Structure 1
Amino acid sequence: MLTTQSLHLSTTWLNAGSDDQFWTTLAQTLLPPYVNTCRWFAGKARQQTGFSVRTVHTVPLADGDVAYLLILETTYADGIPESYLLPLSFLADHSAHTLQFQVADVPDKGCIGDVVSGKQTGLLIDAIYDERFRQALFSAICQSQTLPQTDGILTFHRGKGLDEGDNQLSSQVLPVDSSNSAMTFGDKYFLKLYRKLFHETNPEVDMVAFLTDESNFAHIPAFGGSIVWQGDQRPDITLGMVQRMVPNDKDSWMQTGDYLNDFLYGVPQRMFAIREDVFDKVELLGQRTGEMHCALYKPARPGVSVDAAFTPEPFTNDYRDFMIRRLEDLLERRYALLIDNYTKLDLQAQRLAWVFMEAKEMIETFIADFRTRPLDSLRIRIHGDYHLGQVLATESDFVIIDFEGEPESSIAERKIKHSPLKDVAGMIRSYHYAVSAKLFNSAETDDLDPDHLQRVSDRWFYLIRDTFVDAYLDVFGAPHPLFKNNSEINFLLLIYLLEKAVYELGYEISYRPSWVKIPLKGIIDVVREIEKIRLSDGDTVSDVPMLQTGLLQTKRS
């Protein structure tokens, strides 16, 4: 869709890269209203003070034309500026027929505005909707090209997941709007162009490249390549990544929901039944999770070069301090939220909340123990946001996806090494959510006593949890450097389960009060296990009270 006003470029589009005045004018006129309509732009709700084009990269196209990769900076009244990647292409009006044909392939959301370049008129578009640009990126990755720029170098890395002879494939832009842009090539490869940029390499690309190229881990969409902007005075910045496409039926959250439908059918009739193939699937996922962590465990060996970003590390004081600060901050804010919202909770959630608040001293003692307890287990890079929705179910196996890490964490925090048990805790919590959400939010169980539903939910969850964890640990054998012994495994798993459940609690209080009982029950389960550790350590003489389980007692249905 053409705009009513045209922006004039004094030079030809081919030479526009060096026309600073054009980019300045573009950033002040056409780009602000356009960018604010884009799904990938995260600054819509903030008070913007301006846009500026910080860097212009040139990408040659096969027909002799060029596209440009803009690094666009947005400043705000409050907070630090943000950088975004905006690729631009110019569809020149050589003939009405040609322009009409090309514009027909560009959706409205890809049209930026009319431009007069030299003596040519045409349409400025987001270059992802230009087949020539998509092909240029993919070919450059296939050929491992480097493109020198006025500011650094664009480096195109080819990964093991790219087959020979696949450098000329038809492509299309996926219609799904998200925080990044996605393109497919030959229905075989998936190229993700990162829009919001961070001044260091993307953790997802680091992880997928390492698992594919260094460890040959087969249960992820294989790494096909990446686009990196390298500079002399700053860390490398990742602009895009190619992976193999994976045929799948659904993610594991949906698959687990299907299994729970069968389970749910028997609950009103007081029948407890789990199909055998459910346990088979859970065991397989536990196995694949363990294999992923084994692939990420790459200790340094004489004569073998290992990327320092992936070498195992011990539990240092700095790491313990980081985790303790995070836990204490989460707990302080969650206690305040619970107090403010206590009267809005249902009776079952109120009982759980009361036990949680009464256990405050015990939790604080447990966290203090984490600061000083000797730990010989090791930390590695992990998935970091691991749950059932991050696992695709194929016909007979699983594929693990989305290695970007926790969305609300900084890029530096996403690269921190943890015990792999943090991923295990994430999956355990996901299974707990799956069964709780199904049983407590289904018409079939509306008339059942909540305490009875809680007991049924617990039985399903504990069986599935133990099946997953046992299959996971069987992958490593004993002893293994990642886990010194069962005592450390139990202790560390509780740390990460507590962190995850307390984090979840904040979201549920704020957005889904009827679900607050789910993370609260997870916290109480952890506190029960903390109490067992206290008893086994002989810590029963201190002034810290034991868990007030009597507050949870109700009549049995």
Structure 2
Amino acid sequence: MFDSTTSNLTSSSAWANLIQDQDAIRFLETTILPPYLNSCRWFAGKARQQEHFRIRFVHEIPFRSDSYTAEKAYLIIVEAGYANGETENYLLPLSFIETDRPDVPDVLPKGIVTTAVFDQKPGLIVDAIYDERFRQVLYFNLAHQNALAQKTGRIVFHRGRGLAAEHIDAEVTSRVLPVDSSNSALVFGVPNQGETYFLKLYRKLFQETNPEVDLVSFLTEHSHFTHIPAYAGSLIWQQEGVPDVTLGMMQLMVENQQDSWNQTGDYLNDFLYAVPHRLFTIKEDVFDRVELLGRRTAQMHLALYSPESNDPSFAPEPFTDDYREFIIRRFESLLERRYTLVIDNYAKLDPLAQRLAWVFMEAKEMIDEFVNDFRHRPLESLRIRIHGDYHLGQVLATGNDFIIIDFEGEPESSISERKIKHSPLKDVAGMIRSYHYAVSAKLFGSTETEHIDPDHLQRVSERWYKLIRDTYMDAYLETIGSPHPLYKNNSEVNFLLLVYLLEKAVYELGYEISYRPAWVKIPLKGIMDVIREIEKIRIADPTRNSDLPLLQMGLLQTKKE
């Protein structure tokens, strides 16, 4: 039984019989887990009104040895219930380390769930990722593709092509990466090669496979695209009659000098320092890097284009009416919320942002017409699985090349939504917007340019951005090739790119108004660029019968220097 007068758990049962000790389970649910989970970076429910934590499932992971007692760890699935909204499920691996033995390992304080006594043996219940035995058995099971039967389903370990045959029985070293994020990261080293594999343990669970595992395993197993950390394996919870649940994925480690957001920031330094002297400077190697990223992006999309695939989740699809309505419903809801935000916060914006916001509001009918055009326009381009959250921060600079990471999709979307097929131009739009952010943030946020007129900075940043955008797009489209089934023609490419650029910039607008008002001008300028292109389409189309007036672009006119 447990001792309810103290914060530690005391049970007359052995740790190996935890599942049968319902009093201990209840004590964990009511007393131990609430404060512990709320201290974890990966627990996303801190801001919600919590009503309960319930251990819904307990899976057993036997250790290969019992060098310091307890012979197994548990993968517990914790349900977090809230006063409002849906419940969430989290993965928390637990192990028990006895503390009265000479070989007790050190455990970081954040890994200690509680002190405990099982069968008169004092110790610590810890997040098992901080237990070497647990890390070792994860690697062993994955390398040997084991399946562990459980009371509810089974835990299945898959080995991917990225795990070398000579490493299956290797005596690996392991550690936890000291990063705080929404998942946990473990690193494994093999003899004479150092740290070689990276295992991401997913904390928030969904009742279907993780899109990142789907995409990375597909690219590794079914294509020749090598600019990702290769898929080395995964662990899945399988139950009969319900979708699989992804618990973790292992990949090859890659050399990481920095992500491309930071690298682009470094490249922008020369440009930044020249601006106060009225010089426009871009080194040639900047264009080389942008061109290379454009090619790598196209190669990724070509690898994901799989018309012969037997897996329907990767077969290309047309622009169906259902897909268009999904995009339109989501965009119109987003747009309405952004109009409200702009109106409510207009007085807080700086003069440049106010001018941009005014034209954005004036363009409402034009945007509505553009959305209706998307609903009815004949489109022969195709949709495929894509990265889904593509920006400079998702690309690692490795020597003279790039590695693309983090295929989980949009963080605020459901798992089902992340698996929806889109035009690859949605990824392209994300990267283009990322370049716009890179230069705007650099120029508007640096001390070197704080005394320069904002209108001048706006013009200078636009010149840099347009050169980089065109360089990236030219390399991308050249690599895709023309014609290609993904894209009917240049007209459809341009139209679809505007759809996704507008959606992305409108999405960004909400974040900036709420958290970084000084940056509101960045997404507003992105919206404005799309609006200008929409108006060009209207003017150039002699068949268009529209009573909408032209936009008042004079509102954006800046003073002459």
TM over 0.5: yes
Deviation at 1:526, TM superposition (A): 0.4
Pick aligned residue for 1:370 from 369, 374, 378 = 374
Pick aligned residue for 1:97 from 99, 102, 110 = 102
Partner of 2:47: 45
What one-letter code is carried by the residue in structure 2 that aligns with 1:178?
S
Q: Does the CA-based 8 Å contact 1:139-1:168 persist in structure 2?
A: no
Partner of 2:192: none
Matched, 1:258 2:276: no
Partner of 1:17: 19
After superposition, the CA RMSD in angstroms is: 1.5
What one-letter code is carried by the residue in structure 2 that aligns with 1:97?
P
Deviation at 1:121, TM superposition (A): 2.6
- Give secondary structure in 2 for the equivalent of 1:30: helix
What one-letter code is carried by the residue in structure 2 that aligns with 1:15?
N
Partner of 1:271: 279
What one-letter code is carried by the residue in structure 2 that aligns with 1:149?
Q
Pick aligned residue for 1:178 from 175, 181, 188 = 181
Partner of 2:316: 312
Deviation readout 1:473-492 (Å, 9 max, x if unpaired): 11111110000000000000
Task: Report the Cα distance in structure 2 between the residues aligned to 1:271 and 1:529, rounded to whole angstroms.
Answer: 29
Task: Report the Cα distance in structure 2 between the residues aligned to 1:279 and 1:355, rounded to whole angstroms.
Answer: 33
Task: Report the Cα distance in structure 2 between the residues aligned to 1:82 and 1:261, rounded to whole angstroms.
Answer: 44
Pick aligned residue for 2:415 from 391, 411, 415 = 411
Task: Report the Cα distance in structure 2 between the residues aligned to 1:451 and 1:122, rounded to whole angstroms.
Answer: 64
Partner of 1:424: 428
Deviation at 1:326, TM superposition (A): 1.3
- Give secondary structure in 2 for the equivalent of 1:79: coil
- Give secondary structure in 2 for the equivalent of 1:547: coil
Deviation readout 1:293-339 (Å, 9 max, x if unpaired): 00100013xxxx52111111000011100111111111111111111
Partner of 1:198: 206
1:268-417 map, 5 Å:
268-300=276-308, 306-417=310-421
Partner of 1:455: 459
1:9-158 map, 5 Å:
9-64=11-66, 65-93=71-99, 95-98=100-103, 101-102=104-105, 105-158=106-159
1:497-512 map, 5 Å:
497-512=501-516
Task: Report the Cα distance in structure 2 between the residues aligned to 1:498 and 1:5, rounded to whole angstroms.
Answer: 53
TM, length-normalised to structure 1: 0.95
Deviation at 1:4, TM superposition (A): 5.7
What one-letter code is carried by the residue in structure 2 that aligns with 1:192?
K
Deviation at 1:277, TM superposition (A): 0.5
Q: Does the CA-based 8 Å contact 1:361-1:545 persist in structure 2?
A: no
TM, length-normalised to structure 2: 0.95
Deviation at 1:524, TM superposition (A): 0.7
Deviation at 1:392, TM superposition (A): 0.4
Task: Report the Cα distance in structure 1 between the residues aligned to 2:115 and 2:367, rounded to whole angstroms.
Answer: 62
Deviation readout 1:396-435 (Å, 9 max, x if unpaired): 0000011111111111111110000000000000000111
The number of equivalent residue pairs is: 546
Deviation at 1:283, TM superposition (A): 0.2
Cα separation, partners in 2 of 1:13 and 1:488, compared to 1, 3 Å = same
Task: Report the Cα distance in structure 2 between the residues aligned to 1:454 and 1:410, rounded to whole angstroms.
Answer: 36
**Gapped regions of structure 1 (runs ≥ 5):** none
Deviation readout 1:207-242 (Å, 9 max, x if unpaired): 111111111320011111000000013210000010
Q: Does the CA-based 8 Å contact 1:283-1:471 persist in structure 2?
A: yes
Task: Report the Cα distance in structure 1 between the residues aligned to 2:476 and 2:85, rounded to whole angstroms.
Answer: 43
Task: Report the Cα distance in structure 1 between the residues aligned to 2:543 and 2:521, rounded to whole angstroms.
Answer: 29
Deviation at 1:50, TM superposition (A): 1.4
1:512-527 map, 5 Å:
512-527=516-531
Partner of 1:237: 245
Counting aligned pairs with the same residue, the percent is 66
Deviation at 1:541, TM superposition (A): 4.6
Partner of 2:164: 163
Q: Structure 1 residues 227-236 or 436-445, which shifts more?
A: 436-445
Task: Report the Cα distance in structure 2 between the residues aligned to 1:14 and 1:319, rounded to whole angstroms.
Answer: 50
- Give secondary structure in 1 for the equivalent of 2:158: strand
Deviation at 1:25, TM superposition (A): 2.9
Deviation readout 1:139-179 (Å, 9 max, x if unpaired): 11101111111100100010111112324210001121221
Task: Report the Cα distance in structure 2 between the residues aligned to 1:515 and 1:220, rounded to whole angstroms.
Answer: 32
- Give secondary structure in 2 for the equivalent of 1:463: helix
Cα separation, partners in 2 of 1:546 and 1:154, compared to 1, 3 Å = same
Deviation at 1:97, TM superposition (A): 2.5
What one-letter code is carried by the residue in structure 2 that aligns with 1:164?
A
Partner of 1:546: 550
- Give secondary structure in 2 for the equivalent of 1:113: strand
Q: Does the CA-based 8 Å contact 1:293-1:420 persist in structure 2?
A: yes
Task: Report the Cα distance in structure 1 between the residues aligned to 2:35 and 2:383, rounded to whole angstroms.
Answer: 46
Q: Structure 1 residues 442-451 or 253-262, which shifts more?
A: 442-451
